[in-house]
Chains A and B, each alone.
Chain A
Amino acid sequence: MASKKFKSEKLIEWTMLLCSMVSVLTTIGIILVLSIDSIKFFEEVSFVDFLTDKQWTPLFEDKHFGIMSLLSGTLLTTTIAIIVAVPVGLSIAVFLNEYASKRFTSIVKPLLEVLAAVPTVVYGFFALQFVTPMLQKVIPSLAGFNALSPGLVMGIMIIPYITSLSEDALRAVPNSLREASYGLGANRFQTAFKVMVPAANSGIVVSIILAVSRALGETMIVAIAAGQQPKLTFNPLESVETITTYIVQVSMGDVPQDSMEYRTIFAAGMTLFVFTFILNNLSFWIRKKYQQRYE
């Protein structure tokens, strides 16, 4: 009886361990799938061309495979989003933590989180149908598809990512530091920016890294509103194509399996994955390293 019970306990434990392994297998799967077809891709295209060619035209007769044209679009929209989201998100976090009343925070925080719950296809529609026409009234030279409008909208979307994590980090700073600062005669602004923010800096950095990673991988907003023209440009008024948009664009067409066009989405996906993988690991490492600082 006792051994039977013991056996079923072990069985359950092994089943659960097996389930946990699914996540490990997913990671391995992603890396394998991306690598295998990327390797096939690089058998035909030299790595140097991939990095230095200024054109990305795998779907045309005259094929060029310069990832920089897609990467520049990705980095441009991400940069615009981050320029909006970091100051705004961080200011809100400091404000909620240091200035606002508890009641104000308890109302505003969940409302801001709605921004992160809205499906991205909705933001894409909003960028294309509302923000772009509005911006065109101010900037007449703005193209119908452009990097600026989806970048701005993406910035608004990732505000709650930065606010939430930064606020958690600020809240974890012990009250004694705040009291010491006030005791020395500092006002609220000085306490917030010379004591609290530096004390919470690792958490704030993590929130920014994760927001960058989120913006790099964002797909629908840019696929709808940024256009589908790979271009090596940093002009936010022109149409650009991001890595993610290219993957969607190819997936929607009838690309034969085992063709060069098909492999390009793996090479493009690999490039994106490498960026986000580095950022995610960096944030995980920072979090682990500084987690216990105030415990």
Chain B
Amino acid sequence: MSPKIKDTLFRIFAIFCTTLGLATLLILLVDITIKGITRVNWSFFTNLPSRLPEQSGIYTALAGMVSLLLFTLLIALPIGILSGIYLEEYGKKNRLANFIEINISNLAGVPSVIYGILGLELFVRLAGLGNSILAGALTLSLLIMPILIVSTREAIKAVPNSLREAAFGMGATKWQTTSRVVLPAAFGGILTGIILSTSRALGETAPLIVVGALAYVPFIPEGPMDQYTTLPIQIFNWTSRPQQGFVINAAAGIIVLLLFTFILNGIAIYLRNRWYKKTAI
């Protein structure tokens, strides 16, 4: 085969591969929309879970998901962002920082279900939190921590050194420089990381099943110690039932879940583009 034919063949194959990826995404979206759109109406959002698919809704699942995310961010944001700042601005060259870096890269690759096992033993059993929102939020916090840390570091890394030097030159201390010059300049990037990790936490299912998020929760959680369910778990529960009515419900739930996911990712992409333009002086 001449190199020229190989070149053409590869071009065709590569275009086929690209189409395969994008077409699958399109088919997935169309298929789910066709299956579920009839069920997406106001009562679907306001109904409690029920034995009858037509009367089931995602009210408690949505409420549970929102409170779970709020608590997760409340715990994960300060710790994750401060770690990112430390690793990038302070402990850059020492051994400890290097060790922590290997750790974070490792944690990013740990399967989410393993975080579930950690949460089950540590928060649910040892700390005695039971199947509470707090136990779920702590587990998810550990899960999204590596994403937060890495994106914070990337954002800080992109801040030009001249800004730091100017601040030091004017007599600012290390923390003054970090908090008043570096962090404001890195804000867009850090915010992007926060949104992407929220999107990740939003879709998580497996670790929450392990730490005991329940499929049937007929009430709205009112505090961090209450039991809860979330949208992905509700979808999983509906998917694994034999009745066709619940399959429609699952598809409808997926439409809502995907809307949340895509909105968050859209915001993140928009922010990233805007922020890149700003920093690329």
Contact assessment for A19 and B79 in the assembled complex, using a CB-CB cutoff below 8 Å: yes
Is A26 among interface residues, defined by CB-CB distance under 8 A?
Answer: yes
A102 CA to B184 CA in the complex, in Å? 31
Q: How many residues of A contact B (CB 8 A)?
A: 85
Given contacts A16-B82, A16-B90, contact A95 B11 (CB under 8 A): yes
Q: Please, how many angstroms separate the alpha-carbon atoms of A223 and B240 in the complex?
A: 10
Asked if B199 and A91 make an inter-chain contact with CB atoms under 8 angstroms apart, the answer reads: no
* B64 adjacent to chain A (CB < 8 Å): no
The answer to whether A19 touches B78 (Cβ under 8 A) is yes
The verdict on A217 contacting B111 (CB below 8 Å), with A37-B121, A114-B265, A156-B24 known, is: yes
Q: How far is the CB of A240 from chain B (nearest CB, A)?
A: 17
**When the two chains form their complex, are residues A220 and B83 in contact, meaning their CB atoms are under 8 A apart?**
no
B112 at the interface (CB under 8 A from A): yes
Instruction: Bin chain B's interface residue count.
Output: 35 or more
- A residues 140-165 near B (Cβ < 8 Å) are 156, 159-160
Interface, chain A (partner B; CB < 8 A): 5, 8-9, 12-13, 15-17, 19-24, 26-27, 29-30, 33-34, 37, 87-89, 91-92, 94-95, 99, 108, 110-112, 114-115, 117-126, 128-130, 156, 159-160, 186-190, 192, 210, 213-214, 216-220, 223-224, 244, 247-248, 251-252, 257, 265-266, 269, 272-273, 276-277, 279-281, 283-284
Residues of B within 8 A of A (CB): 3-4, 6-7, 10-11, 13-15, 17-18, 20-22, 24-25, 27-28, 31-32, 35, 78-80, 82-83, 85-87, 90-91, 96-97, 99-100, 102-118, 120-122, 125, 142, 145-146, 149, 173-175, 199, 202-206, 209-210, 212, 232, 235-236, 239-240, 247, 250-251, 254, 257-258, 261-262, 265, 269
**A-B contacts besides A13-B86, A123-B28, 7 pairs, CB < 8 Å:** A17-B91, A37-B121, A91-B10, A121-B203, A244-B206, A272-B114, A273-B114
